Structure 1
Amino acid sequence: MDGDRQISTLTDPDQWARCAHDGTALMDGGGVSLAWEAPAAPPAGAGEPAGLAFDRWGRAYRSYPGAGRVDVLDDSGPSPSSPSSPSSPGHPGALLAPRGLAVDSAQRLYIAESCGGAVHVVDLWAERLLRRVPVRGRPLDVAALCDGAVVLLADPAGLVLLRGRRGPLHGPVLGGALHAAGWRPTRVAVRAGQPYLLWVAPCGDRAVVARPDGTDPLEVGPASDLAFGTDGLLTVAGHPGQPFRRYRQDGDGWAEIEPVQALGYDGGAVSAAPDGRTAFTTAQGLGWTAGPAARYVAGGRVIGYRLDSGAYRTRWGRIFLDACIPPGTDLRVGFLTSDEDAVPDPVPWTPAVQGRRVVRHPDLTPPLPSALRLARLGPGSGLFRRPTGREWPWAQIAPDDAFETYEAPVDAPPGRYLWVVLDLGGTARLTPRVRSLRVERPGHRLLAHLPRAFGRDEQDVDFLQRYLAPAEGLLHDLDGRAALRAVLLDPTATPQEALGWLAGLLGLALDRRWPLDARRALVAQAYDLYRIRGTLACLERILRIYLPVPVAAVENWRMRGLGGAVLGTTPDGPPAPAVGGAARATATLGRFAIGGVRPGQDGYTATAHRFTVLIAAPLEGERLEVVRSIVEQHKPAHTLAEICPLGAGMRIGRSLHVALTSMVGPGAGWGPAVVGHVRVGEDGVVGVPSAAARVGESAVMGAVRVG
């Protein structure tokens, strides 16, 4: 339709901060909502400080200072070995009050042993203790700092650094007004390579987050721990029974955003997971933050600054708002227009109640509307929810996006300048949210194609402009889609509803149980997969598209016996071990295999046309059914396949699959590894095993130790 149609927007957080606010707050990332206040929940008593950290694989490590150990937890539920309470005497460990935990970029776990005066460094790749670092003082907490860690000490208070095998090194010196006033640091966290401490007042009822030298302070009230997310979001945990407060740094200050619920928090520790979620310690092991814990005001108003169309007597078009309007809340929009370049009595600017941002160069902000005209503005008009989503052609909307697009015609006389006024109404627990705002300029021009007699009266023109707006908007959307119909042939850009149609052009039938990104990747790689269809390589690629984890298809004939040399044996030595049958002790080097053959049966005949799919991920329920469907549809013809989920990966002491994966140590009854609980001679392995060593023959310290 009209190719020269442009839009004016309010989307950036800086733009929303320049508007005048009355009872509203700025949202994190841009947008507005009703102002809120944190509920005054009485604390349930101070808990025992503990440690919580995550590695790059998403595994959680939780310390129990009273029990003297560190457990590995699964986010799907509590650890089987976790006690009913942190002070439970069951399963005692060998550590002396491990209070702080951290995992650095090299996947090393640091354990601050508070009563032991040392820090344990554990290599998570090799699952072994690297060293025990004694420190001068009592370690209270530890935080990862790139490929090292910073340790907070007490008695005397200070910071030390650990890097690789170096350390302890002197860290930043404590100082400033907080240190001089007797405030004591209790927790440490790292943001962008800079340590931040949680300073607690001598009376214990106040806390401040600041740097070691006392700069960049932030008053947070009573607090027990702090954590920085990957995006710089600061989460401060209060005492048990209180919500978590959240802050984001804006320039030289901090802006508070809505608090979140932390049901079951025991006062131990809080940490940010690799996926961006916030976890905390509970009596059962691990918990996650829930929805907002704020109470909202009943109503608020946002008054936008002046939008300029660039031409006088402009008849503005439609307004589009990306908003979330829960049931029981209300959102209305009002408009003021003018052709006057000057505003004699502008409304004074008022900042948002929460989420305040530093407005740079406020003198460059366009003027706010006239106070007299704003007082005469009637109630705003309602909004229409677009059933087709965004007004942009072929716009993709995330399935978990709670914001929908609403539209309304700009009900105002023609004018070069436009002011938008938003009136928000909500309840104590619910608030409408507006993320972005877009206004067309100018509106449609269908009146130019009608007889001039229809436009003699200004009231008739306004009525026809609004009356024809819905029909013209539909035609405009169809015209925009037609102009960009080439997007339908792009697997990465085509809308979700058109993805099945695009796959049909390629001869594919998509499984709706697949994630959306995996379906797009499958369509994008369809022609490459057709070239190797019916091979194990094709099957592996399809499984990696559905499950972005390591996948290997192992043909069973490769395991048919010891067809080569056995490393570590001699021709006149004892025979080589064989699993399931006999074997030769000598053959061509480079053709080593494990498995053996059954007596009286050819190894190739017993294992031909069979293969096993090894998947390094836990599979159950729908995911397992989808994997079975993929293997059945895309495996080579006339073959038999077996699926072997490896869970989190190969682990010593756990039998994974007969004849394909090895197992070292006992099978049944093998418990999960607990840092600080393993004892030499009970269930530990000391040293590195030598080649061709056998169980029951040699037990040399530094070579092989079984027991």
Structure 2
Amino acid sequence: MDVNGLPMWELAGRADFGLAPSAKPPFIADRLHFKDALGHVLLSEKQPAPALAEVETWARARASAPSPVADQLGGFAWWDGATRTVQSAGFAPGAMQLFPPDLDPPYAEPPSMIGASDLALGDDDVLYIARDGALTWRDLRDRWRPARIARDDFRADLVAPMPGGGVWVFDRLHRRLGRARGYPLQFAGLRDADPAQFDPVEPNRNPPRLIRARVAPLASDYEVVAMAASPGGKLALLAWAPGEDASILTLEGNAFARRFRLEGLRFPYSLAWSGEDRVAVLAGDASKPARQAFLYPIEGAPTPDLVTAPGGQIHPLIDPTDAKFANRLAPVPHYLAEAVAGVATVERPLRALSGAKYARAGSVLIGPIDAGRPGCVWHRLYADAAVPDGGAITIHALAVESRVPPKLPGEVQTPGWAPHRIARVRAEGVPSASWVPQPSEVPFAESALGCDPRPNGAGLWTVLLQHTDRKVRRVTGRYLWLHVTLEGDSQATPELAALRIYANRLSWRDQYLPAFYREPLSGPDAVAAGPATPNDFLERMLHLYEGVLTETEGRIAGSWLLTDPAAAPEAALPWIGGWIGVPIDPADSAERTRQALLAAPYTAALNGTLGGLLAALELGTGGRLYQGARIDPGDRAPAPGALAVASLGDTATRALALGMAPGGSCTMLAGGAVTRGSIVVVEGFRLRRTFSTILGADLNEEEDPLTLGLTQSGNSFVGDTLILGDVARQELLSLFRPEIDRARSGDTQAVQQFYARLAHRVLVLVRGVSDRNEMARLKDIIEAAVPAHVEASMHQARRPLIIGAASLIGIDSWLDEPEPFEVVRLGRSILGEGDFVAGSGGLDQRADGPVAIRPSARISGPSVVSAGQGFVLSAIGSKGAPGSNITRHIWTWDD
């Protein structure tokens, strides 16, 4: 609703534009596409359905062959069926055997074994080989011996790497999905068992294992020929079905769902992800690879009945072999090319030859929008849209008193649709929308378009709803129907993010001028064809000014939003901070500043306390304010500044309580480093009992306000929840080593001074932060939050934290993703802190030695080119390898 009280309807998202799976005719969008990453409606990217001479026997042979693999160094490997070994190449002419075929423990190859069925390279540098129904782990860094897992009730036929290690495994016989996790035991020195020390029964806490996933088996109609995983963890299958085009299926929850069928492709044989929203397939043409790969968008909900053509970009295959895509996690698919004597010599990324080719027009019928009153005058339309040169968005409006879907514009006996146009160039005789410099007509709202505005190109557009060929040009009726058409030149597409329609027009002519200015025509006379009446022209002319003044009045009426941190623009945040006395760091992010201002009414009461320090660190590390939580009636309400556990359904998370409102509504912080456990704050007086065993002081007096009457073991209990193991305790005590040494000298006064200082100290332990600038920023937050009489110190904790530091039995109880594997690096690695000395992890081991210098490609040209203008690209700066010349250049389009 605007400042005049006019109701507003906003259209945004898949469902509103007929692109949701639930859409029914005539509301299904035609040749339109919804880009989930942007939230925009575009013209669909389409090229004609492939017309290939597919040969089933050739495609079946390609589909049954194992996928090759490629690493990030330019090496690649494949299964050689003749020698039953894995061969690698990429850094020198010819190929070499990747590693000997023996296994540990020894494994006798049965005579019936015909070879591997699939290969996959994980992002943990482990090569997974599916062979004879079993799965083999091969570490390219030689951290462990190979391992083999086989199950009687599950065959490992297809594999696809999972982010973070491990692989998806598919059983083609039973159409089941599984997961392979774990690693063989690393090489370690042998030692005799110590009866006084805890030892696990199984020395390998994460052994290799093949687990059946809790996913419903696939229907028997499908013959799965390929499987692929994306870097973000999505999983897709390529399946054949008798008598119909091939299908793409994706894992949705605990079942596979068919996304769509591939128009014109019966027997594609390979599948790979391109980013997180597209898949690429390879197909054959007359017993050889097709000249291009075909890409398809994967967005929104599955549409099982849809038959779709490839996307509009052409992705040529340059001298490809007949191998599948390389089976690894990569944002761009790779394929093997330029075979010499049957051996590939290079692996190439899949690149587009040109920009996308879009449909020239696409449309959708939207409605009805119910105004709730007969004879409603529909007022104005706003659009968040971008239009290229040669493109346009045409919006036909029709207001009627019936909910029956009307005939579309251009059909026989169609009703009187009123066209409106959004374009760079105005069209004669059609109301054209005007570009508005503000992001939105809604006061201080952001644009739904998500890009910088461009005058008469991108941003906010508005037009008064009106007919073009009637004497009275109002659009009148209870129900409003919209027919939206996007038009382009096939090289670029308009983008539509949202439409907002206002109704119940407040006519300035009827509201403020004498009665004789009102429209005298009504009924059939008003809707008759002809030039507009003078009264109608006057009304529409006045609304040229009304549109601008209403937006201005709305911003004035909504100016209070400038004082609300949740709604104020970024530029206003420092002023709000200065107004309420909260210092704002100009270098801090807008989101952290916004959250700090929202929490200011609560954190002000915690200044100078432990809770205030925790809140400052939580807000400074990404914590967000949450309001409206309820306290369990059976539990005690947490004190402001105390850590608590918040539950949402079956999920529990740590939170920092800030305050309690009347009625039991709680305000808290969550999502920062404090509630994640990455930062732990220890008050110095809680360390007194630990130091008592070192310095010989007697602190068992229950009335001592600094020890709180605690009688637990001083070597293990440090605070309310802080437990220290031997290694972690030594690390913590080393922070106080100089003072401990002085106090141990026997000077009673030194001991007393040490404890006196300890009572006014606070220790902040930080884990997971290695950047010096970030540590300096955290130190500034700490110094600003502690009172002047408290001495604060911050230290990096390298050991795992359990609320506080580390558990007594050495189990890593870190409630987050484990720290990634790191290779030893000079100047960074510390002996004994978890880094490994390892190989390069490359598939072609010749990469560790001298290799021939490759040619270098250098491109020069303009950085920005306007649509429709010519430009020149030059490769004159490219150089061949020593002793060689460049004979040709291959140009591709990288989007």
Normalising to structure 2: TM-score of the pair?
0.50
Cα distance, 1:52 vs. partner?
Answer: 10
C-alpha change, 1:88 and 1:109, in structure 2 (3 Å) is closer
Select which of 824, 832, 851 maps to 1:664.
Answer: 832
Cα distance, 1:187 vs. partner?
Answer: 1.9
Partner of 1:407: 462
Does residue 598 of structure 2 align to residue 589 of structure 1? no
Does residue 238 of structure 2 align to residue 198 of structure 1? yes
Does residue 261 of structure 2 align to residue 246 of structure 1? no
Cα distance, 1:268 vs. partner?
Answer: 1.9
Select which of 30, 36, 43 maps to 1:34.
Answer: 43
Q: How many residues align?
A: 589
Task: Provide the C-alpha distance between the structure 2 equivalents of 1:85 and 1:481, rounded to a whole number of angstroms.
Answer: 68
Q: Quick one: which amino acid aligns to residue 226 of structure 2?
A: T
C-alpha change, 1:348 and 1:407, in structure 2 (3 Å) is closer
Q: Quick one: which amino acid aligns to residue 410 of structure 1?
A: L
C-alpha change, 1:433 and 1:486, in structure 2 (3 Å) is same
Task: Provide the C-alpha distance between the structure 2 equivalents of 1:473 and 1:303, rounded to a whole number of angstroms.
Answer: 27
Partner of 2:533: 459
Task: Provide the C-alpha distance between the structure 2 equivalents of 1:437 and 1:386, rounded to a whole number of angstroms.
Answer: 14
Other structure's SS at 2:439 match = coil
Partner of 2:575: 501
Does residue 542 of structure 2 align to residue 526 of structure 1? no
Q: Quick one: which amino acid aligns to residue 246 of structure 1?
A: P
C-alpha change, 1:419 and 1:529, in structure 2 (3 Å) is closer
Other structure's SS at 2:622 match = helix
C-alpha change, 1:370 and 1:52, in structure 2 (3 Å) is farther
Cα offsets for 1:212-267 (capped at 9, x unmatched): 9999584334362256999xx67445489636312444564347598497999992
Does residue 126 of structure 2 align to residue 133 of structure 1? no
Alpha carbons 1:48, 1:267 under 8 Å: kept? no
Q: Quick one: which amino acid aligns to residue 436 of structure 2?
A: R
C-alpha change, 1:400 and 1:465, in structure 2 (3 Å) is same
Alpha carbons 2:247, 2:258 under 8 Å: kept? no
Cα distance, 1:319 vs. partner?
Answer: 0.5
Alpha carbons 2:358, 2:491 under 8 Å: kept? yes
C-alpha change, 1:640 and 1:214, in structure 2 (3 Å) is closer
Other structure's SS at 2:621 match = helix
Mapping of residues 29-428 of structure 1, within 5 Å: 32-38=41-47, 49=67, 66=78, 99-100=119-120, 112-115=128-131, 118-119=134-135, 132-135=148-151, 139-141=157-159, 151-153=169-171, 159=176, 161=178, 176-179=220-223, 185-187=225-227, 197-199=237-239, 207-209=246-248, 216=258, 218-220=260-262, 221=265, 222=268, 224-225=270-271, 235-238=279-282, 242=293, 244-247=295-298, 248-250=300-302, 252-254=304-306, 259=311, 267-269=325-327, 294-300=356-362, 307=369, 309-311=371-373, 314-325=376-387, 327-333=388-394, 335=396, 346-347=407-408, 370-371=413-414, 373=416, 380-397=430-447, 400=450, 404-412=459-467, 413-414=473-474, 415-416=476-477, 418-428=480-490
Cα offsets for 1:264-303 (capped at 9, x unmatched): 999224769xxxxx66568999999999963023445556
Could you tell me which runs of 5 or more consecutive residues in structure 2 were left unpaired when the two chains were aligned. 19-24, 53-58, 81-88, 104-115, 182-206, 284-290, 318-323, 337-345, 421-427, 453-457, 468-472, 521-531, 624-670, 695-712, 719-728, 744-749, 799-816, 845-895
C-alpha change, 1:83 and 1:157, in structure 2 (3 Å) is farther
Q: Quick one: which amino acid aligns to residue 409 of structure 1?
A: L
Task: Provide the C-alpha distance between the structure 2 equivalents of 1:85 and 1:539, rounded to a whole number of angstroms.
Answer: 57
Q: Which deviates further from its counterpart, 32-41 or 466-475?
A: 32-41
Alpha carbons 2:565, 2:594 under 8 Å: kept? yes
Partner of 2:197: none
Cα offsets for 1:311-365 (capped at 9, x unmatched): 555432110112232x42433545555667699983389xxxxxxxxxxxxxxxx
Cα offsets for 1:38-70 (capped at 9, x unmatched): 489999x999736799xxxxxx9x9975599xx
Task: Provide the C-alpha distance between the structure 1 equivalents of 2:413 and 2:822, rounded to a whole number of angstroms.
Answer: 74
C-alpha change, 1:286 and 1:642, in structure 2 (3 Å) is farther
Q: Quick one: which amino acid aligns to residue 330 of structure 1?
A: G
Mapping of residues 556-705 of structure 1, within 5 Å: 589-590=715-716, 592-594=729-731, 595=734, 597=737, 602=742, 614-617=766-769, 619=771, 630=781, 649=819, 663-664=831-832, 670-671=837-838
Alpha carbons 1:20, 1:302 under 8 Å: kept? yes
Alpha carbons 2:362, 2:485 under 8 Å: kept? yes
Alpha carbons 2:42, 2:494 under 8 Å: kept? yes
Task: Provide the C-alpha distance between the structure 1 equivalents of 2:782 and 2:377, rounded to a whole number of angstroms.
Answer: 61
Cα offsets for 1:531-576 (capped at 9, x unmatched): 245976465334323895554378999999x96889xxxxxxxxxx
Q: Quick one: which amino acid aligns to residue 261 of structure 2?
A: E
Task: Provide the C-alpha distance between the structure 1 equivalents of 2:351 and 2:561, rounded to a whole number of angstroms.
Answer: 39
Q: Quick one: which amino acid aligns to residue 186 of structure 1?
A: A
Other structure's SS at 2:170 match = strand
Cα distance, 1:523 vs. partner?
Answer: 1.4
Alpha carbons 1:389, 1:405 under 8 Å: kept? yes
Give the superposed CA RMSD.
6.5
C-alpha change, 1:437 and 1:298, in structure 2 (3 Å) is same
Structure showing greater radius of gyration is 2
- Percent identical among aligned pairs is 16
C-alpha change, 1:348 and 1:86, in structure 2 (3 Å) is farther
Task: Provide the C-alpha distance between the structure 1 equivalents of 2:403 and 2:540, rounded to a whole number of angstroms.
Answer: 28
Cα distance, 1:109 vs. partner?
Answer: 12
Other structure's SS at 2:566 match = coil
Q: Quick one: which amino acid aligns to residue 406 of structure 1?
A: W
Task: Provide the C-alpha distance between the structure 2 equivalents of 1:99 and 1:410, rounded to a whole number of angstroms.
Answer: 61
Task: Provide the C-alpha distance between the structure 1 equivalents of 2:174 and 2:413, rounded to a whole number of angstroms.
Answer: 58
Other structure's SS at 1:664 match = coil
Alpha carbons 2:261, 2:307 under 8 Å: kept? no
Does residue 560 of structure 2 align to residue 434 of structure 1? no
Other structure's SS at 1:602 match = helix
Alpha carbons 1:152, 1:159 under 8 Å: kept? yes
Task: Provide the C-alpha distance between the structure 2 equivalents of 1:426 and 1:492, rounded to a whole number of angstroms.
Answer: 39
Task: Provide the C-alpha distance between the structure 1 equivalents of 2:412 and 2:480, rounded to a whole number of angstroms.
Answer: 9
Cα distance, 1:432 vs. partner?
Answer: 0.4
C-alpha change, 1:114 and 1:627, in structure 2 (3 Å) is same
Partner of 2:679: 552
Partner of 1:5: 6
Q: Which has the higher contact order (CA 8 A, sep 6+)?
A: 1
C-alpha change, 1:289 and 1:490, in structure 2 (3 Å) is farther
Q: Quick one: which amino acid aligns to residue 393 of structure 1?
A: P
Other structure's SS at 1:114 match = strand
Select which of 463, 473, 485 maps to 2:547.
Answer: 473
Q: Which deviates further from its counterpart, 435-444 or 297-306?
A: 297-306
Cα offsets for 1:462-518 (capped at 9, x unmatched): 333333324333443455456655544543344444333322222234345433332
Cα distance, 1:176 vs. partner?
Answer: 3.7
Alpha carbons 1:36, 1:294 under 8 Å: kept? yes
Task: Provide the C-alpha distance between the structure 2 equivalents of 1:339 and 1:48, rounded to a whole number of angstroms.
Answer: 62
Alpha carbons 2:260, 2:307 under 8 Å: kept? no
Other structure's SS at 1:27 match = strand
Task: Provide the C-alpha distance between the structure 2 equivalents of 1:243 and 1:22, rounded to a whole number of angstroms.
Answer: 23
Q: Quick one: which amino acid aligns to residue 512 of structure 2?
A: H
Q: Quick one: which amino acid aligns to residue 441 of structure 2?
A: E
Select which of 557, 562, 584 maps to 1:510.
Answer: 584
C-alpha change, 1:643 and 1:384, in structure 2 (3 Å) is farther
